[in-house]
Amino acid sequence: MVEMDGDEMTRVVWKMVKDKLLLPYLDTNVEYYDLHIRNRDNTNDQVTVDAANATMKYGVGVKCATITPNADRVKEYNLKEMWKSPNATIRSMLDGTVFRKPILVKNIRPFVSTWKKPIIIGRHAYGDVYSNTEMSIPGPGKAEIVFTPSDGSGPSQKTIQEFTGSGIIQGIHNTDESIQSFARACFTYAFDEKIDLWFSTKDTISKTYDARFRDIFEDEYKENWIAKFQDVGIEYFFTLIDDAVARIIRSEGGMLWALKNYDGDVMSDMIAAANGSLAMMTSVLVSPHGYFEYEAAHGTVQKHYYKHLNKEETSTNSMALIFAWAGCLRKRGELDGTENLVDFANKLEEAAIETVESGIMTGDLLLVAQKSPNNKRVNTQEFIDAIGERLHRKLWR
């Protein structure tokens, strides 16, 4: 399997997780790629491309959170360039859909009191604003969108705006092929899990772009899924995104909510926060070609990292990173038929959940957990140690 190391606090936690929870028990070939911002800069971001290629070669990968450079980061790390988001690079190479599922524990109730079951987000991981072309418009002039066919026939063009002053424009795209595989991945996931599938876009405003997503999903449903969905008693439901947001809040949960790339990015953060913490969300990229990439849904936890550098105590939650490793190991085991590895991955997740349910938790969870005399706030290392003790007991029972 492929391991992609990352940045800041998650890099610190990544090492603790490996040292305490993985290396003592595993004898697995892991190909290591260091996506630290400095290494990406030194290799002109080639390391990200290499890691994505390796993930396609081996079929499974696990990735730590990484810095997506912005102007501040370019200054902070003295970067040659404002490199693209590694996630965007990897996703556009692997294609596919990101499924984000909250990690539920008994002693943390979602903020939305009607939610009884997890709401899983299926985020299209290709195109739209993540691989856009943007331009600043300095002053008056005409902005156009042009398509030039490869067959030599004449171009088609439309006016975006006749600018009378300065402004901005943006070009985005998607492909029918990618939307089709997004649809297929979502129907497959919903069917496997026996849960309803919801899909929503802004098709009333975006009558060509978003409407295409709606139509492709509808065709996929009619062609391949109507009978199967009826058999297991689940539904496919399309609605305008505004309506979907309102319904989700009042729902019981328990559905897969398919969303376009940007909608899925934002909504998964909302769902994660409503379930207690950004660190209580797992994320897996499922590619139509059969590749799987596991990661945490949160970022590099920059604020905690600066504390860590200052030798202040941190209480960073490692749940999502642990679940990323567990997901990757389980998939490797399933693909190879190595039961021991699957069993190890399951026990690792159980140990992590039981630790939180026993009251031992990081600061982010203590704020939202049900009050109990057993609750104890622990620091980053102590949390991983507590999970490690439980895991050890489970493995040698």
Q: Tell me whether strands 133-137 and 97-102 are parallel, antiparallel or unpaired.
A: unpaired
Query: Is 52 an interacting residue with respect to ligand NAP (CB under 6 A)?
Result: no
Least distance in Å: CB of 127 to ligand NAP? Answer: 18
265 touches which of Mg ion, ligand NAP, none (CB within 5 to 8 A by kind)?
Mg ion
Identified binder of Mg ion from the candidate list 3, 41, 263, 265, rule CB under 5 A: 265
> Whole-angstrom Cα distance, residue 54 to residue 1?
8
User: Which residue's CB is nearer to ligand NAP, number 220 or number 295?
Assistant: 295
User: Which residue's CB is nearer to ligand NAP, number 180 or number 302?
Assistant: 302
> Whole-angstrom Cα distance, residue 100 to residue 114?
20
Q: Which residue in this structure is represented by tokens 């997004």?
A: 182
Q: What are the helix and strand counts (H, E) for the chain? A: 15, 16
Cβ burial 241-269 (10 Å sphere, 16+ → b, else e): beebeeebeebebebbbbbbbebbbebbb
Least distance in Å: CB of 268 to Mg ion? Answer: 6
364 touches which of Mg ion, ligand NAP, none (CB within 5 to 8 A by kind)?
ligand NAP
Interacting positions 331-390 with Mg ion (CB under 5 A): none
Identified binder of ligand NAP from the candidate list 39, 224, 239, 302, rule CB under 6 A: 302
> Whole-angstrom Cα distance, residue 257 to residue 247?
11
- The torsion angle over the Cα atoms of residues 356, 361, 367 and 372, rounded to 10 degrees, is 60
Number of residues assigned to the chain: 397
x/- map, 75-114, ligand NAP, by CB under 6 A: ------------x---------------------------
H/E element holding 237? Answer: strand 236-240
User: Which residue's CB is nearer to Mg ion, number 32 or number 111?
Assistant: 111
Identified binder of ligand NAP from the candidate list 68, 224, 358, 381, rule CB under 6 A: 68
278 touches which of ligand NAP, Mg ion, none (CB within 5 to 8 A by kind)?
ligand NAP
Choices 25-33, 264-272, 324-332, 348-356 (CB under 5 A): range interacting with Mg ion: 264-272
Asked whether 110 and 274 are in contact (CB, 8 A), the reply is: yes
Q: Which residue in this structure is represented by tokens 């109507």?
A: 226
Q: Is 224 exposed, middle or buried (0-12, 13-18, 19+ CB in 10 A)?
A: middle
- Over the Cα atoms of the chain, what is R_g? 22
Least distance in Å: CB of 277 to ligand NAP? Answer: 6
Q: Residue with CB nearest ligand NAP?
A: 299
Identified binder of ligand NAP from the candidate list 48, 55, 66, 201, rule CB under 6 A: 66
Q: Which residues bind ligand NAP (CB under 6 A)?
A: 65-68, 87, 278-279, 295, 298-303, 316-317, 364
